[in-house]
Amino acid sequence: MSEITPLLHAGLLVSDLERAKAFYESVVGLRRCPNRPELPYPGEWYDLGNGQQLHLMGLPNPDATSVRPEHGGRDRHIALGVKSMDAMKSRFDAAGVHYSVSKSGRAALFCRDPDANTLEFVEVG
């Protein structure tokens, strides 16, 4: 049996790649990876550090009409570490992005991207 190593990437479906890129680059502040290979669908890869990436895939979402829980912590999500929760809140406030704080009391917040994918941001110092 193999030992699991760190998560290498997470992939999210997006319906409008340009809108998603604007969110992930301008609001979240991610940097593009230059080495995305030519694939049969549009997409973008982002560097999360330590060899980890976020992949946006411009593909139809098979559950686009499903009802999502109001609080992102009760929905499927990915968690990203941030150095300053206050800085992240300021970015979201300036962009008009709705977010909710973690119900567990941790220094974490949840928001949704323009395609309702849930993102958790956890303060890691």
- Is 15 among the domain residues? yes
- Is 3 among the domain residues? no
| φ and ψ of 3, to 5 deg | -85, 135
pLDDT by residue (tens digit) across 105-124? 888 999 999 999 999 999 99
- Is 97 among the domain residues? yes
Length of the chain: 125
* CATH code, domain with 20: 3.10.180.10
- Is 2 among the domain residues? no
- Is 45 among the domain residues? yes
Degrees (nearest 5) of the Cα angle 55, 86, 122? 45
pTM, full prediction: 0.90
In the chain, the number of structural domains is 1
- Tell me what the pLDDT averaged over the chain comes to: 92
- 8 Å CB contact between 12 and 53: no
- Is pLDDT larger for residue 70 or for residue 56? 56
Lateral strand order in the sheet of 77-82: 77-82, 118-123, 108-112, 99-101
pLDDT by residue (tens digit) across 43-68? 999 999 999 999 999 998 877 778 88
- Is 4 among the domain residues? no
